[in-house]
Amino acid sequence: MTRGTSPGEPDATVALLAGRGAVVTGASRGIGLAIARSLAQAGARVAMLARGADALAQRSAELGGAALPVPCDVADAAAVGRAMQVITLAFGGAPDILVNNAGIFHPRPLGDITPDDFAASIAVNLNAAFYLVHAALAPMRARGRGHIVTIGSVADRVAYAGNGSYSPGKFGARALHDVVREELRGTGVRATLVSPGPTNTDIWGDLAGTGRFPPREAMLDAGAVADAVLYAVTRADAVNVDELRLSAS
């Protein structure tokens, strides 16, 4: 995203987040990786959280010195606490930006969803967001500055058949964002919900183009979601972007 630069002029986004520290969950692939890359290119130091240490190390190396790989199972509250301690020490303070992006998507009929399946989906799609918000909220409020971004979905307000474990988590994440936004009004800490439609990432597996879901080439690009996040976190301090809903044109 360029902010109206002319040919030959430097990209005005490069230093917009200089000196800021960001945390992005689910950052080793797809939307999370695109967001981490966008924030790093804008000058932020980015702590990238994901479960797979090897993949995370590889992706963070691609981003260079701005990236800090932090292997973490965000569905584990204790693991999130340890990760935030590592990040706070590395950043010399609490992060300025938190992007709750991690999610899992395994659509199937309700009768085929086991209690363990449901619990695992809620743990990543909803509980993890709470754990990260809970860890970041107090220091952000004390500093009087910060930004909490929730990556939602079209499924955070529209119920689809087969989304019996996914939509409840996304509906809950949207509700969590709404509460965070209300509680933080006037504190200097901002909150944004970015809810994309189907986005071209590996999460689809063999589901894309089956009739129920569009082919991947007709979906949003992950970079478009990253652009939306960058837009929200680079507004003037007095402006809060409450919600952005994205769809393919």
Q: Do the domain assignments include residue 115? A: yes
Q: Do the domain assignments include residue 2? A: no
CATH number of the domain encompassing residue 46: 3.40.50.720
Of the candidates 24, 21, 183, 173, the one whose C-alpha atom is nearest the C-alpha of residue 91 is 21
Q: How many domains does the chain have?
A: 1
What pLDDT score was predicted for residue 14?
Answer: 60
Find the radius of gyration of the CA atoms of the chain: 17
pTM above 0.75, yes or no: yes
What pLDDT score was predicted for residue 9?
Answer: 41
What pLDDT score was predicted for residue 3?
Answer: 41
Q: How far apart are CA 71 and CA 93, in angstroms?
A: 19
What pLDDT score was predicted for residue 6?
Answer: 41
What pLDDT score was predicted for residue 160?
Answer: 86
User: What tens-digit pLDDT sequence spans the chain (249 residues)?
Assistant: 434 444 444 455 567 999 999 999 999 999 999 999 999 999 999 999 999 999 999 999 999 999 999 999 999 999 999 999 999 999 999 999 999 999 988 888 899 999 999 999 999 999 999 999 999 999 999 999 999 999 999 888 988 888 889 999 999 999 999 999 999 999 999 999 999 988 877 776 666 556 667 777 878 899 999 999 999 999 999 999 999 999 888
Q: Do the domain assignments include residue 166? A: yes
What pLDDT score was predicted for residue 210?
Answer: 65
Q: Do the domain assignments include residue 234? A: yes
DSSP string for 29-63:
SHHHHHHHHHHHHTT-EEEEEES-HHHHHHHHHHH
What pLDDT score was predicted for residue 219?
Answer: 84
Q: Do the domain assignments include residue 168? A: yes
User: CA geometry: angle at 175 spanning 215 and 128, to 5°?
Assistant: 75
What pLDDT score was predicted for residue 140?
Answer: 96
What pLDDT score was predicted for residue 218?
Answer: 76
Find the domain containing 102 and state its range. 21-246
What pLDDT score was predicted for residue 100?
Answer: 98
- Give catalytic status of residue 166 as yes or no: yes
In this structure, what token pair is assigned to residue 13?
A: 């986004």
What pLDDT score was predicted for residue 105?
Answer: 87
In this structure, what token pair is assigned to residue 49?
A: 């959280």
Q: Do the domain assignments include residue 6? A: no
Q: Do the domain assignments include residue 73? A: yes
Q: How far apart are CA 35 and CA 29, in angstroms?
A: 10
Tally DSSP H helices, then E strands, for the chain: 7, 7
Q: Do the domain assignments include residue 190? A: yes
